[in-house]
Amino acid sequence: MLALRLTRAARPAVQLRRLLVAAASAGTGFLLLSCLGHALNHPEAADAAALRLAWCALPLAATVYLALAVARTDPGTRPRPGLSAVGLGPGRLMAVSALTTALSTTLGSMLALLVFLHLRGDLSGLPFDGAAADALAAGLPLPVPATLTLLAVPPATATTAVALALRPRDPRPPATRTRGFGRFGAFGTAPRRETFGAYGRFGGRGSGSRGAQAPEADTEDTATDPEPPAPDTEREATPAGLPWGVALVTAGLAVHAHAGRSTPAPSVAVLLGWLLTATGLVLAAPGLTHLCGRLLQSTRPGALRLLAGRVLMAEAARIGRPLGVVCAVASAGYAMTALYDSPAPAFGPLSALGALVVAGSTVATLLTAAVEARQSRADTTAALLRLGAPATMLRIAAALRAAALLAVFAPLTLATATLSALPLSR
């Protein structure tokens, strides 16, 4: 009941994001059901049906990624002071987020079932009644257990991912206990390092004589360990995946170049190359975003460039990963279209639906991550406005950040897609 009330009382923008999750779940569910229809029409081609079902993993992953991003930006389930006193602690809020995700994805699966039955011709009285009867095995009975199992995959996967990502964590840092050498080379975990001369006072603590204990106290008071230096927070905040991302992108392009030597190119090598390239783009995107922030602050920056660069550096991990996913999807889509000789590739309706689900979910995830970043720096923005910063400067800084990211990632995406498709299009 609490999840339903929070769902009904949400703002229109939040409801729109939930509807996007439902739409992505509906598209994924329809693709899964279409695989079932193909398997019913062609029972002898089990390998082709399994391959179709395996390709549905891409829209499923995009749907789960979007559902997780929407759950993180839901203001109704955000921890606030005083909620634990009324029974809404972190665990309860996590359960509410998971239940809200389950409601949205279940709604999408039900919509997918209705559309599937309508296109099969089982539901009449609406436009396009039975328009895809031949492709969806209209003359064969639909197995209910298999249908319910396929429709339950998007809600179960998205709900589990949200519950695992938003599970309560201990805010206290783990206690680090260093293992050192004790007296006479014995291993031990001492709270502080032994001072000089402690090895010569063996037995002094157990002798009970005050003369043997006083020098030990004086020595320990005078020979205290200095405070450890403060860590470099800026260096710790720098994403460390840029070298690995560059290495994976290079490996993926090398796999494509090797696959292009044989005609036709082996599908396994092409898929492996695209997987390595996409993983490298996702790993390298936070580091490139951080680098964009540094470049904006170079060569004697003013207040505008300094503000834009600092925000990019602070939000590099939050914005970089969805941006890397968008670049990977865009480069893969461009490479797929470049493999065809005609300007309009002959994609089927199911392929177009899958591409729409993947592309739409990744773009919506990027926009949702931008909303999450804006919510995280809401206090800083309010403080700047109270100090007299004009709202126009904040908007110009946001446009400058977008332009810097576009100037870096658009050529990178185009170059990666061109280099990926060049060996395969020969």
Model confidence over 199-216: pLDDT tens digits? Answer: 444 444 444 444 444 444
Whole-structure pTM value: 0.76
Q: What is the per-residue burial (b if ≥16 Cβ within 10 Å, else e) of 231-259?
A: eeeeeeebbebbeebbebbebbbebbeeb
Asked if pLDDT for residue 229 goes beyond 60, the answer is: no
Beta bridge partners of 180: 188
Return the pLDDT at 25.
94
ω into residue 264 within 30 of 0, thus cis?
Answer: yes
Please state, for a pLDDT cut of 70, what percent of the chain lies above it: 70
pLDDT digits (tens, 9 = 90+) for 292-330: 999 888 888 888 888 888 988 988 888 999 999 999 999
User: Looking at residue 232, what DSSP letter applies?
Assistant: -
Max CA pair span of the chain: 103
pLDDT (average), residues 362-379? 88
Return the pLDDT at 339.
64
| CA–CA distances in Å: residue 167 to residues 87, 93, 94, 163, 364 | 16, 9, 6, 6, 24
| CA–CA distances in Å: residue 33 to residues 53, 60, 108, 137, 160 | 9, 13, 13, 11, 22
Asked if pLDDT for residue 47 goes beyond 60, the answer is: yes
pLDDT (average), residues 67-82? 76
pLDDT digits (tens, 9 = 90+) for 184-193: 545 454 445 5
User: What residue has token string 């170049």?
Assistant: 257
Return the pLDDT at 409.
93
Return the pLDDT at 377.
85
**What are the DSSP calls for 342-395, one per residue?**
SSS----HHHHHHHHHHHHHHHHHHHHHHHHHHHHTHHHHHHHHHTT--HHHHH
Please state, for a pLDDT cut of 90, what percent of the chain lies above it: 26
Q: What would the two tokens of residue 400 be?
A: 């400058």
Q: Which of 242, 253, 258, 244 is nearest to 275 (CA)?
A: 253
Higher pLDDT, 230 or 128: 128
E strand spans, 64-209: 180-181, 187-188
